[in-house]
């Protein structure tokens, strides 16, 4: 089975979606053979360099087509016009798995995509209008044309059924696999003071404003604690310029793992997620976790995180205090929970979905 995977999301600094794509590729090659998986994209020279760097540890075929100066326009035109099958550039295939970035037609084979979350449909006020338009078109196209849609949680599966009217029997859950960099043994980051850590693209949905209020409550009794914030700026980014906040920006996985290991507590106060992979990354690295009580993070949290109402600074502050008191227990629970989220399990679930779609079962 020759599987062509659109890897265009790897052209940007990796966050949740890029990490999911990379884990998917790693898992597919572990579950099958590397010769069966083709990393495909149409992108500009800078994007190609980033994709090559992301794929450097994976022995798989690459079909990375460079079309400067604005590859985005080529991808958009190809998707909207719906002309010229992907086989022209990617070669013969049995499966084409496209991304949010483009959805060209194909002559034959299984057609698949991943829906990571439905935030642009459920909460359009939390995303840039351009993002809402792009994802809405992709979702509608996927619902019309896909043989199978892969999602990262049962929660998102139910959202796809409700909002896209896509048959549940053609949706497959493949939980994200945690990158091997996130493990408890290794260097721990020292920020010269004890710190609470959060990781998120800096945007409204991630709810950092409420976390700032919660930290102000915590610091009344624990003034030595700082809040370290990892994440690149996003749309409607919050103002983080306040005392006791360490802004670290975007960091690579190796540094992020060290930050997870070095923190007193990891807090993820998001209002809505498709899954919430930083929760599991933190657990895999040995951190005690406080996570939002929103249902969309139930699967990532399992029974290993302290849950807190994302709209209540007092609840988040109480969660942090409790996590500080129960760090050892939470670490053990988190490590056990995180072990189930492997790239191989992710790849096996996706490969099974392809095989079932190809056989019509």
What's the token pair of residue 32? 């099958």
Distances (CA, A) of 44 to 11, 12, 69: 9, 12, 6
Pairing of strands 306-308, 226-230: unpaired
Q: In the chain, what's the furthest Cα-to-Cα distance?
A: 64
Greater pLDDT, 16 or 144: 144
**CA–CA separation, 256 and 235 (whole Å):** 22
What's the token pair of residue 104? 């060209």
Residue 129 has a pLDDT of 84
Residue 5 pLDDT class (50, 70, 90 cuts): very high
Residue 35 has a pLDDT of 66
Domain 195-338: which CATH number of 3.40.1190.20, 1.10.3720.10, 3.40.605.10, 3.40.50.2000: 3.40.50.2000
pLDDT tens-digit series, residues 111-124: 999 999 999 899 98
Confirm whether 3-177+342-359 and 195-338 share one CATH topology.
yes
**CA–CA separation, 322 and 196 (whole Å):** 13
Residue 361 pLDDT > 90: no
pLDDT tens-digit series, residues 189-210: 999 999 999 999 888 899 999 9
Residue 212 pLDDT > 90: yes
**CA–CA separation, 41 and 23 (whole Å):** 17
Q: Domain 3-177+342-359 adopts which CATH fold?
A: Rossmann fold (3.40.50)
- Domain map of the chain by residue range? 3-177+342-359, 195-338
pTM of the model: 0.94
């Amino acid at each position: 089975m020759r599987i062509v995977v659109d890897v265009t999301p790897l052209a940007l600094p990796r966050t949740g979606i890029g990490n999911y794509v990379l884990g998917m590729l790693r898992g597919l090659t572990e579950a099958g053979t590397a010769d069966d998986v083709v990393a495909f994209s149409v992108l500009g020279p800078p994007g190609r360099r980033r994709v090559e760097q992301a794929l450097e540890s994976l022995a798989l075929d690459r079909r990375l087509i460079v079309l400067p100066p604005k590859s985005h326009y080529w991808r958009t035109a190809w998707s909207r016009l719906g002309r010229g099958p992907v086989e022209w550039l990617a070669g013969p295939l049995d499966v084409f798995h496209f991304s949010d970035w483009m959805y060209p037609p194909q002559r034959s084979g299984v057609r698949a995509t991943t829906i990571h979350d439905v935030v642009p449909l459920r909460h359009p006020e939390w995303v840039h209008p351009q993002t809402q338009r792009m994802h809405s078109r992709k979702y509608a196209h996927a619902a019309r044309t896909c043989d199978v849609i892969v999602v990262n949680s049962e929660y998102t599966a139910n959202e796809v059924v409700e909002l896209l009217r896509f048959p549940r029997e053609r949706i497959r859950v493949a939980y994200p696999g945690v990158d091997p960099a996130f493990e408890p043994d290794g260097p721990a980051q020292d920020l010269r003071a004890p710190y609470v850590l959060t990781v998120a693209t800096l945007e409204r949905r991630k709810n950092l404003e409420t976390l700032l209020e919660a930290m102000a409550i915590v610091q009344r009794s624990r003034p030595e604690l700082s809040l370290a914030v990892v994440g690149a700026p996003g749309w409607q980014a919050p103002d983080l310029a306040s005392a006791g906040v360490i802004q670290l920006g975007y960091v690579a996985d190796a540094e992020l793992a060290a930050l997870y290991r070095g923190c007193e507590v990891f807090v993820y106060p998001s209002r809505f997620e498709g899954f919430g992979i930083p929760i599991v990354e933190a657990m895999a690295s040995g951190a005690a976790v406080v996570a939002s009580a929103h249902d969309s993070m139930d699967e990532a949290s399992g029974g290993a995180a302290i849950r807190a109402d994302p709209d209540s600074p007092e609840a988040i502050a109480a969660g942090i205090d409790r996590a500080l008191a129960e760090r050892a227990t939470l670490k053990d629970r988190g490590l056990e929970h995180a072990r189930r989220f492997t790239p191989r399990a992710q790849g096996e679930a996706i490969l099974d979905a392809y095989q079932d779609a190809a056989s019509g079962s």
